[in-house]
Structure 1
Amino acid sequence: MAVTVQVDTAHPVGTLINVFTVSPDRQDELITLLARATDETLRRQPGFICANFHASLDGERVINYAQWETSEHYRAMLANPEARVHMDQATKIATDVQPRLFEVRSAHYRA
């Protein structure tokens, strides 16, 4: 079942944008780990909506764009030991990890 990411100021969600800095030879390894963690654990957490992984063309960054029903759902996931295992593995592959929660303030689409 395909789920469409909803970017909408009328229906706020907890939006995670996580920037991973990674050696280009490990970019695919990190994306594989994050996708597996999402399939095995994260998507089963209360409040999870979706996760998307973006690979920079220079191989040095991976961006995780994820949505949670609320920021509290995201914070609860971080406290889950099963989820922490996966996040700890990701920090061993990436040289820098910068997760931030955001709220959508403006959304624009093709006319």
Structure 2
Amino acid sequence: MSVIEVGQQVVTMVNVFTVAPENQRRLVELIVEATETVMRDVDGFISANIHSSLDGTRVVNYAQWRSVEHFEAMHRNPLVHPHFTDIRAIASPEMHLYRVDYVEEVAAVR
């Protein structure tokens, strides 16, 4: 489960991919496949949330890891490299790591 709370000891990766609209659905499929076949079993993985822009030009992966060290270890894992290659063939990623500094909640959406 994603943790969006100030003070939690998790690291959040936000990766914004730029993609041609005709490849957006395929990019989502590739990221979901990578998550379901590899990432979910990598030590330190917490969650992934995939969002696609309504204009078709972006896909955002909001993923959480137990620590920066876990995230860095994932990048050294040879099982993830083929997925990165497939994704980069159709999209340009811009990835950064974040911490949660502030959360305000009004009401739950159901």
The residue number in structure 2 matching 1:13 is 10
Aligned residues between the structures: 107
Q: Equivalents in 2 of 1:11, 1:97: separation in Å?
A: 26
Alpha carbons 1:13, 1:103 under 8 Å: kept: yes
Q: Once the 2 structures are TM-superposed, how far is the Cα of residue 10 of structure 1 from its aligned partner?
A: 2.4
Q: Equivalents in 1 of 2:94, 2:17: separation in Å?
A: 6
Q: Once the 2 structures are TM-superposed, how far is the Cα of residue 108 of structure 1 from its aligned partner?
A: 1.2
Instruction: Using the aligned pairs only, state the percent identity.
Output: 40
What TM-score comes out, normalization by structure 2 length? 0.93
Q: Equivalents in 2 of 1:38, 1:63: separation in Å?
A: 14
Alpha carbons 1:27, 1:62 under 8 Å: kept: yes
Runs of 4+ that moved beyond 4 A = none
Q: Which runs of 5+ in 2 are unaligned?
A: none
Q: Once the 2 structures are TM-superposed, how far is the Cα of residue 21 of structure 1 from its aligned partner?
A: 0.2
Q: Which residue identity lines up with residue 54 of structure 1 in the other structure?
A: H
- For the aligned residue pairs, the C-alpha RMSD in angstroms reads 1.0
Corresponding residue to 2:99 among 99, 103, 106: 103
The residue number in structure 2 matching 1:54 is 51
Q: Once the 2 structures are TM-superposed, how far is the Cα of residue 87 of structure 1 from its aligned partner?
A: 1.1
Q: Which runs of 5+ in 1 are unaligned?
A: none
What TM-score comes out, normalization by structure 1 length? 0.92
